């Protein structure tokens, strides 16, 4: 169509558009300009009014999507591209017990059969996985706060050291696409992000803190809190909830007069352990989610969904969590209830009155100790939050991202079968929410994080999104 347009007029119009949206006066492709203009429209026309986030547990990108072989459209260039997985690049680690190489394979079980325990993923475990055991300081202290060289060589070594009785190939096993039909269907139907990294090279709690507040909390949480500390966090006579110097995304929303809602699969979601604006008062059981969406009074701008974490973690620390079927995908649990949850949430949003004003983001909080062949950027690459949080135990400056995790962006405003290679971390979610709703950043980290506004590429909402997804694997 551009061949039928006067090039001089097209250039003039493009320059006017660039000036209007505040694009700097520098060479820019017409496609890039249009992506920026569509992102500008998202920020200023209120087309997205509801941001839904479902955060699952402890799986790396390669573990979930490494053998998916997804080929789609590059979100930046429009060219055909493939996810950066394992189809053309098997990963390898060496078993230090016998010197044998162990390669990745699409042989992961639906539940972690054969492992005596969960795959480890505390701070020093992740350092060993990313850097190899020889680079982990024996003192646990990082010299001058500098994270070691990363080559993703120590996943098997760490697993063998922590769980010598289990098959050493456990962290190298990945899912065949047929075993995760729901996630693969959504990834092909909407946008899959293949360079989304955990915000912290460590476990669940600090990574979820980054999702809520772009910070590891004033406690500078590097590792998982003890079960006693978790229980004390929920106790009215304990030391209180984890808190943040600059507050949370829930505080920012409340200050703007915007409502949020937290849905949980049981009575003890992790988010309940943080101090935020009326967080406790805005938690509802996930059983009411579908019905709530059908109501005319569904006015929530930000909706965070916590799955049922079963009898581990918080549920194990607190006796009255009323936990049901674990569907957070945390190993060694079966992944099929998690797939069923994703299907349930998607279909509830898709078949609700708010679908055309919504984006649904599916994330995993961290990699759970499973191998990924893409090195996290660094060291260092992540901007420290700058809110005063300091880790004395390891001399860590919160300036290193964690392992790559699966992320899928679902909306009628995104294209079909799109692959986004942009570097993101969990604070990219906050950066996007802040720009959509006109909120100030929480810390230095989300202030510089890449948002994902440019994947909203549709002029009008799509009408071809499926109303139902495949069932989980039988």
Contact criterion met (CB below 8 Å) for 82 and 68: no
142-148 contacts, C-beta under 8 A, 24 or more apart: 142/394, 142/395, 142/396, 143/395, 144/395, 145/395, 145/396, 145/397, 145/399, 146/379, 146/380, 147/201, 147/378, 147/379, 147/380, 147/396, 147/399, 147/400, 148/379
For residue 5, what pLDDT is reported? 40
SS3 of residue 242 by DSSP: strand
338 close to 307: Cβ distance less than 8 angstroms:
yes
**What gap in Å lies between CA 112 and CA 90, rounded to an integer?**
21
Q: Which of 69-73, 86-90, 132-136, 365-369 has the lowest mean pLDDT?
A: 86-90
| Residue 167 and residue 115 in contact, taking contact as beta carbons nearer than 8 Å | yes
Contact 225, 239 (CB under 8 A): no
pLDDT for 137-182, tens place per residue? Answer: 999 999 988 999 999 999 999 999 988 888 999 999 999 999 999 9
Residue 128 three-state SS:
helix
Buried b (16+ CB within 10 A) or exposed e, 297-324: ebebbbbbbbbbbbebbbbbbbeebebe
Q: What is the pLDDT of residues 368-399, one digit of tens each?
A: 999 999 999 987 789 999 998 878 889 999 99
Q: Where in the chain is the domain with CATH 3.40.720.10?
A: 50-87+176-455
Q: What is the pLDDT of residue 426?
A: 98
Question: Which pLDDT does position 320 carry in this prediction?
Answer: 62
Pairing between β-strand 407-410 and β-strand 191-193 as defined by DSSP bridges: antiparallel
Instruction: Please give the CATH number for the structural domain made up of 50-87+176-455.
Output: 3.40.720.10
In this predicted structure, what is the pLDDT of residue 3? 37
Report residue 379 as tokens: 């060291």
pLDDT at 441: 97
Q: What pTM value is reported for the model?
A: 0.91
pLDDT per position as a tens digit, 418-454:
999 999 999 999 999 999 999 999 999 999 999 999 9
pLDDT of residue 377: 92
Stretch 20-48: mean pLDDT: 70
The residue count of the chain comes to: 474
Token duo for residue 367: 């990699």
- Mean pLDDT across the chain: 88
Does the pLDDT of residue 78 top 80, yes or no? Answer: yes
């Amino acid at each position: 169509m551009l061949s039928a347009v006067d090039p001089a007029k097209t250039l003039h119009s493009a320059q006017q558009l660039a000036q209007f949206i505040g694009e700097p006066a520098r060479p820019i492709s017409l496609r890039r300009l249009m992506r920026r203009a569509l992102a500008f429209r998202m920020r200023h026309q209120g087309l997205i009014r509801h941001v839904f986030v479902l955060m699952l547990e402890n799986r790396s990108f390669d573990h979930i999507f490494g053998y998916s072989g997804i080929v789609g459209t590059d979100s930046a260039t429009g060219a055909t591209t493939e996810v950066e997985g394992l189809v053309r690049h098997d990963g390898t680690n060496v078993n230090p017990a016998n010197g044998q190489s162990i390669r990745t394979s699409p042989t992961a079980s639906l539940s972690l059969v054969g492992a005596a325990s969960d795959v480890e993923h505390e701070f020093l475990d992740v350092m060993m996985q990313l850097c190899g055991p020889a680079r982990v300081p024996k003192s646990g202290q990082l010299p001058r706060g500098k994270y070691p060289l990363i080559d993703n060589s120590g996943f098997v070594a760490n697993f063998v050291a922590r769980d010598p009785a289990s098959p050493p190939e456990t962290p190298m096993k990945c899912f065949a696409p047929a075993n995760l039909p729901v996630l693969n269907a959504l990834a092909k139907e909407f946008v899959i992000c293949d360079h989304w990294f955990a915000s912290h090279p460590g476990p669940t709690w600090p990574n979820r803190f980054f999702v809520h507040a772009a910070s590891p909390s004033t406690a500078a949480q590097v590792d998982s809190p003890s079960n006693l500390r978790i229980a004390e966090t929920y106790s009215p006579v304990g030391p209180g909830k984890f808190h943040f110097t600059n507050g949370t995304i829930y505080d920012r929303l409340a200050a703007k007069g915007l409502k949020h809602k937290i849905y949980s699969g049981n009575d003890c979601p992790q988010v309940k352990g943080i101090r935020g604006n009326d967080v406790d008062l805005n938690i509802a059981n996930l059983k009411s989610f579908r019905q709530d969406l059908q109501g005319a009074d569904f006015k929530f701008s930000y909706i965070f969904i916590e799955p049922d974490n079963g009898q581990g973690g918080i549920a194990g620390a607190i006796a009255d969590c009323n936990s049901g079927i674990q569907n957070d995908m945390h190993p060694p649990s079966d992944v099929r209830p998690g797939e069923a949850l994703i299907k349930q949430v998607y279909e509830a949003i898709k078949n609700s009155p708010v679908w055309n004003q919504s984006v649904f983001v599916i994330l995993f909080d961290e990699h759970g100790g499973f191998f990924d062949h893409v090195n996290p950027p660094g060291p260092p690459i992540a901007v420290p939050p700058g809110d005063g949080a300091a880790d004395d135990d390891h001399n860590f400056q919160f300036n290193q991202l964690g392992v790559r995790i699966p992320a899928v962006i679902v909306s009628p405003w995104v294209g079909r079968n799109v692959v986004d290679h942009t570097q993101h971390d969990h604070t990219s979610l906050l950066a996007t929410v802040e720009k959509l709703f006109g909120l100030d950043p929480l810390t230095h980290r989300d202030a510089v994080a890449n948002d994902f506004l440019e994947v909203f590429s549709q002029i009008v909402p799509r009408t071809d999104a499926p109303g139902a997804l495949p069932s989980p694997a039988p």
